[in-house]
Structure 1
Amino acid sequence: MRIHHLNCGTDCPLGGAIFDGRSKGALGHLICHCLLVETDAGLVLVDTGYGLRDVREPFPRLSRPFAAMLNIRLREEETAVRQIERLGFSPDDVRHIVITHLDFDHAGGLEDFPNATVHLTRAELETYRTKRQGFIMKNRYRPMQVDEVRAWRTYDPQGDGWFGFEAVRQLDGLPPEILLIPLKGHTWGHAGVAIDTPEGWLLHAGDAYFYRDEVRRPDRRCTPGLRAYQTMMEVDRASRLANQDRLRALSLDRAAGVRMICAHDVVEYEACAGGRALTA
């Protein structure tokens, strides 16, 4: 099993370090951290970031208010499909996509892989289908990004635990090393994706946290911009913060040895892409 770290989208919100904690200028730098996993069952994508159709015709696939707020930079070379081609694969080699949730910056590339089966929690797909009311819900879930997906596989939380978390094991057609970890709060069906690698467990926590210092240290630290964005987007604050607390504790458990990443922190992405360790 080999894992490739991909940045499948760039956002540059006005505020600089208020968002990313390091930019010197007026604009911040957030990314869409996706994974491409080579398995015996074919290629598996974890999230897709923005897709080709988002780049070529962004509206109404994307929300104009969110595009302006995040200052989204749409680049064809950053789409998952183009990066997969540069690695020497065909888009048809992507047999499965595991989605942390269906927000516009995670699901925009689903239709670039029409032959892939899409795996997610049942709660996430049902929320997308039945609860798209109100400003946030209408703008986060964009039907044009997913309305051509036909091969959905949905899952309910199970009691078969993973370091104290509920876990969905045996995803249809996927190797047993890939698990879905329900982490509701950011959305009702939000989940992380855990991968058992030869170097230990890797957890893609999606949007369960947004900033590198929310984990791997005993006291949570988050930039004002990302703290506000998380609050704006949450559907269940108590669950979101409780799950974040549990992730923080797991990240500090050296015996567990779980490497942890989120979807949007550029420093985490650079460390993974450069082969550097993420340590407490």
Structure 2
Amino acid sequence: MLKQVGLRLVDTGSCRHPEFMTIRGGALKPAVFPSLVGVIRHPDEGLVLFDTGYDPAFLKATEHLPERLYRLLTPPTIATPVADVLIDAGIDPDSIAHIVLSHFHGDHSSGLKRFPNAIVHCAKAGLQRVWGRGRVAALRAGTPVGVLPDDLPARSAFFEDMPLVSLPRDLLPFDLGADVLGDGALLAVPLPGHCPGHWGLVLREAGGLRFLVADAAWSSRAIRENRPPPTLTATLLGDANEVRSTLGRLHALTTRNPEIVLTPSHCAESAARLNACDGY
């Protein structure tokens, strides 16, 4: 039985991109894709973040070419970075001890520098993909040079090294997860395809199970209808076959057990349901 935690989703900003690039049969016109961060209240560890979303550090890192291309392809709007949301709530970012990072793309990782004391729980495969790369290689990996903290390798804990545990049968066809904190509260689940080292997170709220699926889909609609992005998009970012396979498994999960809430990081439906009155 998963230990119960609290969750609030925070919208840190958004980007615009033609919808058809994110879902098969989508519209040609640009759509808005929010960048959601999970703020998790753990009963013993305090607040834990799932990703860090957009931060002004992203704009600084993409100010010049070639990094500017990232901004031009997916024009961002920074709302309120999660660090500032916490400060407004009277919470010092320095007090955050844990961040679970789904993957290293800049719209998920650009707030990491604001949390200097946090252990960053992430995929070793993801860090190896982006760390120590030249500017062009780092940009191709979706993580512009300058976004990540200089001491990141020293304070990273890798999913691949964590104990594997069985997931609740309600989550089939997903059956195994990495026990992030070692207490059964937060279970990281590999969701391959989008990029090397892409993982989601399973937790239990008061209302039931929640699966934060990061960029395994850009919308809840894509999961419900099993509509992957075009092969071109999936191939540019990662592995198109794995993208389709992972999305198919998420579709099978939500069809088999619609009570489980699946939340993509860029889902406009999920952002529309946010309650600004939720506390931490």
Q: Same fold (TM over 0.5)?
A: yes
2:108 corresponds in structure 1 to 106
Native 8 Å contact 2:16 2:76 kept in 1 = yes
- The counterpart of 2:178, out of the listed 147, 169, 176, is 169
1:5 aligns with 2:13: no
State the Cα distance separating 1:235 from its structure 2 match.
1.8
Amino acid at match of 1:73: T
TM-score by length of 2: 0.81
Q: What is the CA deviation profile of residues 74-128 of structure 1, one whole-angstrom value per residue up to 9, with x for unaligned ones? A: 34xx211011112231112211100110001100000110011100122211222
State the Cα distance separating 1:220 from its structure 2 match.
2.4
Native 8 Å contact 1:119 1:153 kept in 2 = yes
State the Cα distance separating 1:136 from its structure 2 match.
8.1
TM-aligned CA distance change 1:215 to 1:82, over 3 Å: same
Q: What is the CA deviation profile of residues 3-38 of structure 1, one whole-angstrom value per residue up to 9, with x for unaligned ones? A: 11101121133x4x65799xx996531110110011
1:66 aligns to what SS in structure 2? helix
Native 8 Å contact 1:166 1:182 kept in 2 = no
The CA distance in 1 between the partners of 2:242 and 2:28, in whole Å, is 35
Higher strand share: 2
TM-aligned CA distance change 1:238 to 1:229, over 3 Å: closer
- The counterpart of 2:126, out of the listed 120, 124, 127, is 124
Higher mean C-alpha displacement, 92-101 vs 130-139: 130-139
1:152 aligns with 2:159: no
Q: Which runs of 5+ in 2 are unaligned?
A: none
Native 8 Å contact 1:194 1:202 kept in 2 = yes
1:142 aligns to what SS in structure 2? coil
TM-score by length of 1: 0.81
Native 8 Å contact 1:132 1:141 kept in 2 = no
C-alpha RMSD over aligned residues: 3.2
Amino acid at match of 1:170: D
1:191 aligns with 2:199: yes
1:66 corresponds in structure 2 to 70
Pairs aligned (count): 263
Q: Which runs of 5+ in 1 are unaligned?
A: 276-280
The CA distance in 2 between the partners of 1:26 and 1:113, in whole Å, is 36
Larger relative contact order (CA 8 Å, sep ≥ 6)? 2
State the Cα distance separating 1:137 from its structure 2 match.
5.4
TM-aligned CA distance change 1:132 to 1:228, over 3 Å: farther
Native 8 Å contact 1:36 1:44 kept in 2 = yes
Native 8 Å contact 2:188 2:201 kept in 1 = yes
2:35 aligns to what SS in structure 1? strand
2:238 corresponds in structure 1 to 235
